[in-house]
Amino acid sequence: MVDVQSLTWQTITKKLHAEKEEAINSLILDRQSERQRGKIDLITRLLKLSEPQSTPVVINDDYK
């Protein structure tokens, strides 16, 4: 998990948002569309690193 309060992460997210905006604008202008889609997807996945990860609940109802 990422420390979302750290100065490093805040700096990274600012840069990622700027890069994503640039990629979206390039996509709209149809400049290397597939490359821009890949870049947008990668940035989105990087930004999701700060989201809490839910762990699945294991239910064991097999009382033997």
pLDDT at 64: 62
Q: Are the C-beta atoms of 50 and 2 separated by less than 8 Å?
A: yes
Which residue matches tokens 């840069």? Answer: 15
* Residue 35 lies in domain: 7-49
In a domain, residue 23? The reply is yes
In a domain, residue 56? The reply is no
- Between 23 and 62, the higher pLDDT residue: 23
What's this model's pTM, rounded to 2 decimal places? 0.74
- Compute the half-sphere exposure of residue 52: CA atoms within 13 Å on the CB side of its CA: 3
- Would you say residue 60 has pLDDT above 90? no
Q: What is the mean pLDDT of the chain?
A: 89
In a domain, residue 58? The reply is no
Q: What total number of domains does the chain contain?
A: 1
